[in-house]
Amino acid sequence: MHLSVREVLDLTERCFIAAGFDAGPARANAETLWWQEAYRGTGFTTLFDLLDELETFDRSRLSLDRCDEIAVIDSGSQPGIVSVNPAVDLCCSLASQNGLGVVYAPLRDEDSTLSSLGHQSFRAGERGYISLTLYADQTSSGTVVGVPDDPYPHIVEAELTSRSESYARLVDFVSSTHSGAGHSSLVRALCKGSTGDRLPAEKHVIARLLEGAVTPVEPEHEVTGLVTICVDPTHQRYADGCRGVVESAVEGTDRGFTRRFHPEDIRDRVETLLENGIEVEASVWRDVFDYSSGVLAPEFEGSYQGAGFDINE
Amino acid sequence: MSSNRETYRYDPGSLRDPSDLMQPERLAALKQTRLSFARLMMDKMTEEQWDISRSRGGYDENGVGRAVYAIETPSHRFSFGVFSHESQEGAHTGRIVAEDWDMWGFLCDGDPAPELMDIQYEELPKVREGRATSDILIWTRGNRSSVFDHVVDSLAADHQPDIERLARGGYLTRSSGYYGNGLNGTKEFKAMNNDHPLSGPYMAQMLTIWLLRIYGFDVAEEMAAERSANAATLDYDIKRYLGTGNSSGIGIIHYVINHPQLMHTWLRAREVALGRVKTISPTSDEIDQFQSLLTRATAWFREDESDTKEYFVAKDRIADELERIARKLPTHCSENTPSTSWAELCQWTEDNLTTGTQEVLHSLVLDVHPEVTDGLENTLTVTEKSDIVPGMTLEQLQSLLSERYRWALDIDMTEPGSQRYFWYRSIDSEEPRLGIRGEHDYEEYEFPIDIARQVQRLELDLQQHRPSETVGEFLLQHPDHRGIVERIQTVHALPYAEIRTNPLDAEFVPLSLISCLKAIWGIQKAHPKSKGWVRGTFFQGAPLPVDVRRGDDSYWLYPEKPERADHWRGR
């Protein structure tokens, strides 16, 4: 059977509300899974797979552990779908202030929502930020990069055999430093090998980040997590050439990215989905539909008595 | 104010202040205008001379049958598939919740194959779970009006029905809703290209409403013909006089509150048109034209016997006040005085007459000067894009609240009755409902349409944080505010986005917002059945297929009740 785009969004939002999420976060999560559906064709089935434990997710259990060079979110052992939007929102806010934002949130050892995490780069791109999403659990690792473009951000990604070098460095930085280590410590951590008093130029930092984002390494600790990096290309610190560095990386065919989503291709894909709908198994729809009905009050006597208790004819 | 005839120039500062326009009482008074969707649809149909006819099927003596109506436009072909039925007595309620209807139908692209008709016959009655296809633009279900049987009986007896009885409702068939834009798997509005004839907002719904009117005439005539070889057909003038009935309830409240960008866009377009027309000093010909429309409107309001209860200005009172405007006109536009603009007449009306009459006047002066709406039709389509701005500081957010949401902060939520209601949806066809807080079950299903209360709660929590913190940081700790923050950051600069009311309040009258949206859609008559339920009439006086085919663009609003004619009595 086919569902319209609107139905996919509405059903997903309702499922999160039925599970106890507030309307705002529920809508944000629905948009994330819709993104996964549009880019990978798996968003709705991911929702279906989550139904059994959706009620155990709790957005309000997220807390901010630290908020300095790298902000750290404690997600309380919840899957990435719960922290993906708060992380990118926080990261964008840090980037708008400092030019660069970095946020780390732990993931489960085997996180069934990894395919949705790239939505961060899309959302940040729509807001005008360049972004990198670096993730790793015990079975998969990957990188998604987004650059603002029209009509959609330009997205590229790499699936890696092990954690990326950039991911490993940032996670090491999180675990080895204390609060307030300073921006220069972060930059040095990102640009291993840089010596002396002079910090490398920001575009060099970005270039190293990108290079390391597609280079697999065998890290000392297998820490699972999601690292979000946002750069404000209009910020004075990053205005000089950073965007060009990222654009040439995402457009180059030899930079290690294995999958590309050109804005025009995505526009065509979205148009096709709008026109034809999304094909789903009837049994999958049935379960999601029934779960989503949890936002509706059960049948009761008043159901048949008009709109409300004292506004009837 | 700019000079006469510069119809496209107006002072943006002259547009009505949202503190006036966005009050429920004012919104309730709005009337259909040239920019209302029903009128835009009709204009397009006649301008392009659409060819609409039944391509197959028919109805028996009980009105049971299937039919397909073909709609040929210069670039597209649509079809209206109808399943006509005779519902069991008492089974139809006129609401979404019902066990049966007198008809169900669908508007689709192209020509529906018999297999699609078979499938839709089964699917359409399933309100929540039924499945359309992506070729289907609209689903509708409808019922016959209380005068329907009288019409059939009269025609079967070879005479015309009693026009006085018909005039009370003004329609033969009434729908309980039009479902499209992705609902039940229908085609998405965004999937229609710009060259699609129904790509404007609500055009597909409006066409379906009009088609339901034609279906009603056909089924009544064929039922009569099946019953008697000497049956009459419904007189052309009577058909023109009858529109399509509509029944709307409190579900509309969810819609108007949840779509602030649409509300702003649609209201602003009509306000710009009004701003433009007020700059015009009419010529004597235009005054004559206005007088003529005023006379029509006065008679139409005078003839309308429907009870407006205490919710709307009584029709008789509007008629009286329109007569006062007619009497004022000679002094207002005397040949011996310098030409005065419509603004002065509007101001006099505002100072002396009720809001209902003020809005009728606005609609009428726009009809005298159709050119002031040029270009505005293209502004009515808007993409509802929404996101938070995470880098905004809480100081900036607080400032937005103080400047743009003062109306919400000023509502006293501690007053008794200020939070009496909670709004929710029932699993019975998802009909929206009101519950009384503290007395009724299901408060946990409350829907967040309480904008003022959410703003106040947000402000309270903002005070606990440093002004230099960002929205991104704040929302990490307060996810419950994400929805309202996103709304504020998205629509704060749109003056007509927020309706300045508290839907939780014991005194809240849902009808005011229902009436507003209906005016935007283009309803003519509105008869409140309660404070949360209104019936009304679309397309009363509008062209019929034969008129559309020949491009009849004559003025059709405020139709005169047809005079009894000799041939009405039969052969």
Residue A242: per-residue pLDDT: 85
Q: Which of B97, B482, B512, B514 best tests the A interface by mutation, with the highest count of A CBs <10 A?
A: B482
Question: Given A271, A297, A304, which is nearest B442 (Cβ)?
Answer: A297
| Cβ partners under 8 Å of residue B13, min gap 6 | none
Q: Which of B476, B487, B507 best tests the A interface by mutation, with the highest count of A CBs <10 A?
A: B476
Domain end call among B368, B387, B403: B368
Are B436 and A309 a contacting pair at CB < 8 A? yes
Residues of chain A with CATH 1.10.1530.10: 1-57+263-297
**Angle, vertex CA A143, rays to CA A140 and CA A148, nearest 5:** 150
Chain B: residue whose CA lies nearest to A90:
B472
| Cβ partners under 8 Å of residue B439, min gap 6 | none
Q: What is the band of B430 on the pLDDT scale with cuts at 50, 70, 90?
A: confident
Please report residues of A whose CB lies closer than 8 A to that of B188. 4-6, 274-275
Residue A98 has pLDDT above 70, yes or no: yes
Which range of residues forms the domain containing residue B293? Answer: 281-368
Are B433 and A302 a contacting pair at CB < 8 A? yes
Residue A178 has pLDDT above 80, yes or no: no
Place of tokens 């008595």: A305
Residue B308 has pLDDT above 50, yes or no: yes
CA distances from B393 to B398, B435, B474, B485 (A): 9, 37, 9, 12
| Stretch B410-437: mean pLDDT | 91
- Both tokens of B570, joined, read 């039969």
Whole-angstrom distance, CA of residue A5 vs CA of residue A278: 7
Closest Cα of chain B to A294: distance in Å?
Answer: 9
Question: Given A7, A90, A304, which is nearest B182 (Cβ)?
Answer: A7
Look at B9-18, B61-70, B84-93, B435-444 and tell me which has the smallest mean pLDDT: B84-93
Look at B204-208, B356-360, B441-445 and tell me which has the smallest mean pLDDT: B441-445
Are A127 and B479 a contacting pair at CB < 8 A? no
Q: What is the band of A237 on the pLDDT scale with cuts at 50, 70, 90?
A: confident
Asked if B450 and B488 sit in the same domain, the reply is yes
Q: What is the band of B21 on the pLDDT scale with cuts at 50, 70, 90?
A: very high
Question: Given A3, A92, A303, which is nearest B426 (Cβ)?
Answer: A303
Q: Is residue B546 part of a domain?
A: yes
Asked if B100 and B179 sit in the same domain, the reply is yes
Please report residues of B whose CB lies closer than 8 A to that of A67. 473
Question: Given A59, A67, A275, which is nearest B191 (Cβ)?
Answer: A275
Distance of CA B401 to the CA centre of its chain: 31
Domain end call among B368, B387, B414: B368
Are B533 and A1 a contacting pair at CB < 8 A? no
Q: Is residue B262 part of a domain?
A: no
Question: Given A2, A274, A312, which is nearest B191 (Cβ)?
Answer: A274
Closest Cα of chain A to B420: distance in Å?
Answer: 12
Q: Is residue B342 part of a domain?
A: yes
Residue A210 has pLDDT above 50, yes or no: yes
Look at B158-167, B290-299, B331-340, B385-394 and tell me which has the smallest mean pLDDT: B331-340
Whole-angstrom distance, CA of residue B180 vs CA of residue B198: 12
What pairing do the DSSP bridges indicate for beta strands A259-261 and B533-538? unpaired
Q: State yes or no: cis peptide before A151, omega within 30 of 0.
A: yes
Residue B4 has pLDDT above 70, yes or no: no
Please report residues of B whose CB lies closer than 8 A to that of A86. 475-476, 479
Q: What is the band of B526 on the pLDDT scale with cuts at 50, 70, 90?
A: confident
Asked if B419 and B360 sit in the same domain, the reply is no
Are B424 and A90 a contacting pair at CB < 8 A? no
Q: Is residue B433 part of a domain?
A: yes
Distance of CA B338 to the CA centre of its chain: 39
Closest Cα of chain A to B313: distance in Å?
Answer: 19
| Stretch B247-259: mean pLDDT | 93
Closest Cα of chain B to A273: distance in Å?
Answer: 9
Residue B335: per-residue pLDDT: 55
Whole-angstrom distance, CA of residue B367 vs CA of residue A256: 64
| Contact predicate A159/A258, CB 8 Å | yes
Asked if B218 and B202 sit in the same domain, the reply is yes
Residue B568: per-residue pLDDT: 81
Residue B27: per-residue pLDDT: 97
Residue B522 has pLDDT above 50, yes or no: yes
Question: Given B185, B387, B389, which is nearest A4 (Cβ)?
Answer: B185
Residue B293 has pLDDT above 80, yes or no: yes
CA distances from A231 to A117, A228, B462 (A): 18, 10, 27
Question: Given B250, B448, B471, which is nearest A308 (Cβ)?
Answer: B250
Residue B3: per-residue pLDDT: 45
Q: Which of A311, A312, A313 best tests the B interface by mutation, with the highest count of B CBs <10 A?
A: A311
Residue B116: per-residue pLDDT: 97
Closest Cα of chain B to A307: distance in Å?
Answer: 5
Asked if B444 and B496 sit in the same domain, the reply is yes
In chain B, % of residues over pLDDT 90: 81
What letters, b where the CB count within 10 A reaches 16 and e where it falls short, cover A81-116? bbbbbbbbbbbbbbbbbbbbbbbbbbbbeebebbbb
CATH topology for A61-261 is Ribosomal Protein S8; Chain: A, domain 1 (3.30.1370)
Q: What is the pLDDT of residues B334-372, one digit of tens each?
A: 655 656 899 999 999 999 999 999 999 999 999 999 999
Asked if B318 and B416 sit in the same domain, the reply is no
Residue A313: per-residue pLDDT: 41
Closest Cα of chain B to A218: distance in Å?
Answer: 33
Q: Count CA atoms closer than 13 A to B544's CA, side-chain side.
A: 15
Chain A: residue whose CA lies nearest to B252:
A307
Residue A254: per-residue pLDDT: 75
Q: Is residue B35 part of a domain?
A: no
Residues of chain A with CATH 3.30.1370.60: 61-261
DSSP string, chain A: -EE-HHHHHHHHHHHHHHTT--HHHHHHHHHHHHHHHHHHS-HHHHHHHHHHHHTT--GGG-EEEEESSSEEEE-TT--HHHHHHHHHHHHHHHHHHHSEEEEEE---SS-TTGGGTTHHHHHHHHTT-EEEEEEE-SS-EEEEEEE--SSS-EEEEEEESS-BHHHHHHHHHHHH--TT--HHHHHHHHSTT--SSSPPPHHHHHHHHHHHHT-B---SS---EEEEEEE-TTSTTTTTTHHHHHHHHHH-TTSS--EEE-HHHHHHHHHHHHHH-EE--HHHHHHHHHHHGGGSBPP-GGGGS-SBSS---
Asked if B16 and B64 sit in the same domain, the reply is no
Question: Given B388, B479, B510, which is nearest A59 (Cβ)?
Answer: B479
Look at A192-201, A222-231, B208-217, B235-244 and tell me which has the smallest mean pLDDT: A192-201
Q: What is the mean pLDDT of chain A?
A: 89
Residue B11: per-residue pLDDT: 81
- Both tokens of B567, joined, read 């041939």
Q: Is residue B263 part of a domain?
A: no
Closest Cα of chain B to A125: distance in Å?
Answer: 12
Are A6 and B482 a contacting pair at CB < 8 A? no
Please report residues of A whose CB lies closer than 8 A to that of B514. none
Q: Is residue B139 part of a domain?
A: yes
Nearest-CA neighbor of B77 among B58, B44, B114, B52?
B52
CATH number 1.10.1530.10 given to A1-57+263-297: yes
| Stretch B243-250: mean pLDDT | 92
Residue A302: per-residue pLDDT: 58
- Both tokens of B219, joined, read 């089924």
| Stretch A89-96: mean pLDDT | 96
Asked if B460 and B493 sit in the same domain, the reply is yes
Neighbours of B341 (CB within 10 A): 17
Are B485 and A24 a contacting pair at CB < 8 A? yes
Residue B336: per-residue pLDDT: 54
Question: Given A94, A275, A313, which is nearest B529 (Cβ)?
Answer: A313
Task: Check residue B536 and report its DSSP letter.
Answer: E
Chain A: residue whose CA lies nearest to B528:
A313
- Both tokens of A179, joined, read 């609060």
Residue A294: per-residue pLDDT: 96
Asked if B503 and B465 sit in the same domain, the reply is yes
Q: What is the band of B527 on the pLDDT scale with cuts at 50, 70, 90?
A: confident
Please report residues of B whose CB lies closer than 8 A to that of A6. 181-183, 188
Whole-angstrom distance, CA of residue B149 vs CA of residue B184: 32
Number of structural domains in chain B = 3
Are A93 and B390 a contacting pair at CB < 8 A? yes
Where would I find the H helices in B96-234?
114-123, 148-156, 163-169, 203-227
Asked if B209 and B351 sit in the same domain, the reply is no
Q: Which of A4, A63, A295 best tests the B interface by mutation, with the highest count of B CBs <10 A?
A: A4
Are A307 and B432 a contacting pair at CB < 8 A? yes
What pairing do the DSSP bridges indicate for beta strands B243-248 and B533-538? antiparallel
Size of the A and B interface in Cβ pairs below 8 Å? 174
Whole-angstrom distance, CA of residue A144 vs CA of residue B66: 54
Nearest-CA neighbor of B137 among B196, B219, B97?
B196
- Who wins on pLDDT, A204 or A132? A132
Are A274 and B510 a contacting pair at CB < 8 A? no
Please report residues of A whose CB lies closer than 8 A to that of B510. 307, 311
- Who wins on pLDDT, B505 or B337? B505
Q: Which of B134, B248, B309, B427 best tests the A interface by mutation, with the highest count of A CBs <10 A?
A: B427
Chain B: residue whose CA lies nearest to A89:
B472
Question: Given B97, B182, B391, which is nearest A92 (Cβ)?
Answer: B391
Closest Cα of chain B to A171: distance in Å?
Answer: 21
Closest Cα of chain A to B89: distance in Å?
Answer: 17
Residue B309 has pLDDT above 80, yes or no: no
Asked if B239 and B296 sit in the same domain, the reply is no
Asked if B358 and B452 sit in the same domain, the reply is no
| Cβ partners under 8 Å of residue B2, min gap 6 | B9, B10, B11, B279
Q: Is residue B503 part of a domain?
A: yes
Q: Which of A3, A89, A230 best tests the B interface by mutation, with the highest count of B CBs <10 A?
A: A89
Residue A303 has pLDDT above 80, yes or no: no
Q: Which residues pair with B537 in a beta bridge?
A: B245, B525
Q: Which residues pair with B526 in a beta bridge?
A: B536
Q: What is the pLDDT of residues B74-133, one digit of tens each?
A: 999 999 999 999 876 655 555 555 668 999 999 999 999 999 999 999 999 999 999 999
What letters, b where the CB count within 10 A reaches 16 and e where it falls short, cover A194-229? beeeeebebbbbbbbbbebbbbbbebeeebbbbbbb
